[in-house]
């Protein structure tokens, strides 16, 4: 298939495809799907080997958000019966983080609901980072606290935070359909503030809210241009009690096409399968590892994932390995640029020990990961649903025929159905008396 040969060649050189080529990936048929996965898998191995980076979410403050992001169970007016609690104490957060690190996570993502942090909230996060790093100085920390005001990113950087997550979620053109209390430009501004302060930029998207293929391609190219070092790909978790509860627009095949497209557009960037992995990829999760080089371990912010041990078993069974603390996540050319931008460590050194979060990838398929390729910048952790997008416009308008068929099937099934069998509200870990899943 000429398209895949072209995309593979570009990806191995670290080049970005054209917009038309990215759209063509989304329009491939189910008959072509394994070829698509194989082609994008070669690009993934070229830059990231067979390593899988594990990240662990700690929801510092849950629910009761004044923002109206329609995809989010913590939104204003949400009827979702999620855990609601205010800020965890530093010791409580450190305990939760320890569980994730013990389970194999090298990055801890500290997330708080809300429009953005107050300066007092930055103090709280500073104390929490100190508690986590006192127990384990090597752990990478990503903060996800919403829109940043002036000087807050600098304060987080000084506190030892390595990365900041703030997702663009969807295209600029449709952003107003998924949230009205802030704008796409607000989100871009926060990613730029974080990056400008030397924090690794983590910014991604949410698929499955009814967006068109063009919307998906728009946001993925925007993320590339923003210099996001980590791109979390969330698949909408349609929570009962939110406006998108019945938006079941994704099939496992559709998710794999989206991941492949994101990989081709971001060949040397960390691509993370984020929220919705179990809900939408289901038994096809292992194929997703051939495309993404990063996942969350265990549970999400307000929903439960599969058991942490099941995540580890899946990685091993699929022939991948958990990325170690001493291994760099990003390929050397990108890690060095990230280090220069953030003042952290470059690719050669271990990413831990308080350094930055770049990382040199092990070469894949006998190829050198050091091959000269263009620049890149910062890096980022990633969080689940604090940044995503949703738009309930008809989904299938521009998708390929096979994909449209699959989506129509999903729509039919979900039209009058809330899938409580697939969406499990988190009832353990942070904010509860029960042990975390890690």
Kindly list the residues in this chain that would bind ligand SF4 in the complex (CB under 6 A): 65, 67, 69, 72, 74-75, 113, 115, 146, 385-386
Q: In this structure, are residues 415 and 285 in contact, taking their beta carbons and an 8 Å threshold?
A: no
Q: Which is nearer to ligand SF4, 43 or 219 (CB)?
A: 219
Find the catalytic residue in 46, 51, 109, 383.
Answer: 109
For ligand SF4, the closer CB: 144 or 361: 144
Q: Active site includes 144?
A: no
CB of 183 to ligand SF4, least distance (A): 12
72 is catalytic: yes
Q: Which of 42, 50, 69, 332 is catalytic?
A: 69
Reply yes or no on whether 334 is catalytic: no
Residue closer to ligand SF4 (CB basis): 61 or 157: 61
Give CA–CA dist 363/327, Å, rounded: 12
| Active-site residue identified among 42, 46, 75, 142 | 142
- Residue 214 has a CB neighbour count (10 Å cut-off) of 17
Contacts of 10 (CB under 8 A, 6+ apart): 16, 17, 264, 267
- What is the distance, to the nearest Å, from the Cα of residue 225 to the centroid of all Cα atoms in its chain? 17
Question: Taking the complex as a whole, how short is the minimal distance between the CB of residue 57 and ligand SF4, in angstroms?
Answer: 13
Q: Residue 111's beta-bridge partner residues? A: 59, 144
* Rounded-to-integer distance, Cα 300 and Cα 96, Å: 13
- Residue 142, strand partner residues: 109, 163
**Active-site hit among 272, 277, 334, 426:** 272
Comparing CB distances to ligand SF4, the nearer of 66 and 319 is 66
Q: In angstroms, give the least distance from the CB of 337 to ligand SF4.
A: 29
Exactly one of 45, 51, 72, 124 is catalytic; name it: 72
Q: 49 or 387: whose CB is closer to ligand SF4? A: 387
d(CA 131, CA 91): 7
CB of 72 to ligand SF4, least distance (A): 3
Query: Minimum distance from CB of 102 to ligand SF4 (Å)?
Result: 27
Concerning whether 272 is annotated as a catalytic residue, the answer is: yes
Q: Is 383 annotated in the active site? A: no
Q: How does DSSP assign 319-375, residue by residue? A: T-EEPPTTS-SS-HHHHHHHHHHHTS--SSS-S-TT--S--PPPPSTT--TTS----
Closest by CA position to 161, among listed 354, 328, 384? 354
Q: Which residues are catalytic?
A: 65, 69, 72, 109, 142, 202, 272
């Amino acid at each position: 298939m000429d398209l895949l040969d072209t995309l593979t060649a570009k990806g191995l050189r670290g080049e970005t495809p054209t917009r038309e080529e990215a759209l063509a990936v989304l329009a491939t048929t189910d008959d072509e799907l394994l070829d698509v996965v194989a082609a994008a898998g070669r690009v993934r191995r070229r830059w990231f080997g067979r390593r899988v980076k594990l990240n662990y979410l700690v929801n510092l403050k849950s629910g009761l958000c004044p923002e109206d992001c329609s995809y989010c169970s913590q939104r204003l007016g949400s009827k979702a019966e999620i855990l609601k609690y205010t800020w965890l104490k530093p010791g409580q957060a450190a305990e939760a983080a320890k569980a994730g690190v013990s389970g194999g996570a090298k990055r801890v993502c500290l997330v708080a609901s809300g429009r953005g942090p107050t300066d007092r909230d930055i103090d709280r996060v500073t104390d929490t980072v100190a508690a986590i790093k006192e127990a384990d100085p090597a752990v990478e920390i990503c903060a996800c606290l919403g829109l940043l005001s002036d000087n807050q990113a600098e304060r987080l950087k000084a506190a030892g935070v390595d990365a900041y997550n703030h997702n663009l979620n969807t295209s600029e053109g449709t952003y107003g359909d998924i949230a009205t209390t802030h704008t796409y430009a607000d989100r871009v501004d926060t990613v730029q503030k974080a990056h400008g302060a030397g924090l690794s930029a983590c910014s991604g998207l949410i698929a499955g809210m009814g967006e068109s293929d063009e919307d998906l391609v728009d946001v993925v190219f925007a993320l590339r241009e923003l210099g996001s070092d980590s791109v979390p790909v969330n698949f909408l978790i349609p929570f009962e009690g939110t406006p998108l509860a019945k938006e079941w627009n994704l099939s496992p095949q559709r998710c794999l096409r989206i991941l492949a497209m994101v990989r081709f557009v971001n060949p040397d960037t960390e691509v993370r399968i984020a929220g919705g992995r179990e809900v939408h990829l289901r038994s096809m999760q292992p194929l997703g590892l051939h495309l993404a080089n990063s996942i969350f371990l265990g549970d999400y912010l307000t929903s439960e994932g599969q058991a942490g041990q099941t995540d580890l078993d899946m990685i091993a069974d699929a022939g991948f390995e958990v990325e170690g603390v001493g291994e760099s996540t990003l390929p050397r050319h990108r890690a060095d640029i990230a280090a220069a931008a953030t003042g952290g460590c470059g690719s050669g050194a271990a990413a831990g020990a308080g350094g930055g979060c770049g990382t040199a990838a092990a070469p894949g398929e006998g190829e050198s990961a050091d091959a000269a390729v263009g620049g890149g910048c910062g890096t980022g952790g990633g969080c689940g649903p604090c940044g995503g997008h949703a738009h309930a416009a008809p989904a299938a308008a521009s998708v390929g025929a096979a994909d449209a068929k699959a989506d129509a099937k999903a729509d039919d099934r979900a039209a009058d159905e809330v899938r409580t069998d697939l969406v499990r509200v988190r009832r353990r870990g942070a904010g509860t008396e029960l042990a975390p899943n890690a």
